[in-house]
Chains A and B, each alone.
Chain A
């Protein structure tokens, strides 16, 4: 069983790349063979967050256009031997990707990996629609604020219209990953609550990633958060989310480093 995940959001800067790296590393730690694929052609970042920027030779475009073999372009992670990165090209633009090329690369990845996680560019244009095109599962990343939630809603509409699964009359599995969640600000009414976001988007919740400075620190040193500091709240939240992707039924909790203060459990599993 091999699954293609697209991590998408519509809006930029909500945490797609961080989440791709974290979910990829968490799934790999659980023993799965994982490839993370950067679809943000021209503005690649996943290589930095994965700490592989000094080892990029070939990229997604080279493979899609047949200039390089997939195994030449895949970069094996130094920490986890079953985690691989397929980087994007920084010098090309998104028009260099064709649907046929992407389909070929995805099919080849599908035959070699348990999980293929595609990091979508922001926006709703070609790059984003190609990243979602062949996905089986969508992880929709949103921050608890209205502009992000509305953009995510737009993306959900596109997932239901423009993916291969949708065009074949099937439903694409969609999950919400709520990032940059600050329980204190929600309590003060400065952020949307989990209930508000779920009510608007009406898709199942995959996880709540608390806002935490460790996330920025991890991406600055080029390490997925779950490898950088496995004990911190966001790392635990990403580990939970990765387990839920594998079908494990965990209670939804908002992880916190100050357990006594904010620990809250939600009785429900997802809408």
Chain B
């Protein structure tokens, strides 16, 4: 049992509250308003995790990059981007977050408390101190163990489309889709990662790493036409290439979680 514990490292999908900054077009005017805001509340963005929601802007990747540089130059620490095309994901942009739900939309048990943070968040200009207090309260009251959010994994939502990738996933690329299933029509190269909240389907050779059920969803599975993976993970359990039996290597397989260990069986 101890052995089993030491073999694993722990991953878990957590929900945290973050301020979401929502720039509006025209951007230049919005930046001016932001500068005015910062001039009055110099420390407001200091050491706070900020999500930048670009859904209200019609920006291309370069535009978003420019905006990120602009905000970073003002001392705003960007935790992630919302409303951006997941295909833009690469080193020079912050992590692209899945479609966000505002705290009010969320139907999690903490909805009442969390719903309140929206209101003060909208008039933060009026009283910075009060807003901080409210957020701090909300964070404290959000103290449900992570299991609570895990019990309603995002991937269960019926409205979320699966992500279909119609090109090979190249070495060094990461496909991150915590909302649900990922289907790759092509191969996943050695040195590439695919992270899915649900199952992963690979119509090609899986040579990289696949993390299914990244939010802790134990029912997720990995399917691939040919298994040459560096690592397979389902939920919180993973297998490295060394631990994958040779009799399933190179074959059409599925992998799933059974009694806290990963099982792999051929499908051909």
Inter-chain contact B187/A150, CB cutoff 8 Å: no
Inter-chain contact A200/B207, CB cutoff 8 Å: yes
- B interface residue count range (under 10 / 10 to 19 / 20 to 34 / 35 or more): 10 to 19
Q: A-side binding surface: helix, strand, loop or mixed?
A: helix
Instruction: Provide the residues of chain B in CB contact with A154, threshold 8 Å.
Output: 170-172, 191
Q: Number of A interface residues, CB 8 Å?
A: 16
Instruction: Provide the residues of chain A in CB contact with B190, threshold 8 Å.
Output: 146, 150, 153
B207–chain A nearest beta-carbon distance, Å: 7
Residues 160-180 of A contacting B (Cβ, < 8 Å): 160-162, 167
- Which chain A residue lies CB-closest to B191? A150
CA distance A215 to B248 in the complex (A): 42
Instruction: Provide the residues of chain B in CB contact with A139, threshold 8 Å.
Output: none
The reply on A157 being an interface residue by CB < 8 A is yes
The reply on B62 being an interface residue by CB < 8 A is yes
A90–chain B nearest beta-carbon distance, Å: 29
B68–chain A nearest beta-carbon distance, Å: 15
Known: A153-B189, A161-B90. A167 touches B171 (CB 8 A): no
CA distance A168 to B195 in the complex (A): 27
Interface of A with B (CB < 8 Å)? 124, 146, 150-151, 153-154, 156-158, 160-162, 167, 199-200, 202
Instruction: Provide the residues of chain B in CB contact with A150, threshold 8 Å.
Output: 171, 189-191
Inter-chain contact A167/B173, CB cutoff 8 Å: no
Interface of B with A (CB < 8 Å)? 60-62, 90, 167-168, 170-173, 186-187, 189-191, 205, 207
Instruction: Provide the residues of chain A in CB contact with B171, threshold 8 Å.
Output: 150-151, 153-154, 157
Inter-chain contact B207/A157, CB cutoff 8 Å: no
11 additional contacts, CB 8 Å, given A146-B190, A150-B171, A157-B170? A150-B189, A153-B170, A153-B171, A153-B172, A157-B171, A157-B173, A160-B167, A167-B60, A200-B205, A200-B207, A202-B187
- Which chain B residue lies CB-closest to A157? B170
CA distance A160 to B171 in the complex (A): 12
Give the contacting residue for B170; candidates A146, A156, A167, A199; CB below 8 A: A156
Inter-chain contact A160/B187, CB cutoff 8 Å: no
A-B contact count (CB 8 A): 39
Inter-chain contact A167/B61, CB cutoff 8 Å: yes
CA distance A161 to B62 in the complex (A): 11
Inter-chain contact B187/A157, CB cutoff 8 Å: no
CA distance A199 to B187 in the complex (A): 9
CA distance A154 to B207 in the complex (A): 13
Inter-chain contact A200/B62, CB cutoff 8 Å: no
B204–chain A nearest beta-carbon distance, Å: 9
- Which chain A residue lies CB-closest to B226? A199
Instruction: Provide the residues of chain A in CB contact with B172, threshold 8 Å.
Output: 124, 153-154, 157-158
CA distance A202 to B173 in the complex (A): 16
CA distance A150 to B61 in the complex (A): 26
Instruction: Provide the residues of chain A in CB contact with B90, threshold 8 Å.
Output: 161-162
CA distance A151 to B170 in the complex (A): 10
Instruction: Provide the residues of chain A in CB contact with B207, threshold 8 Å.
Output: 200
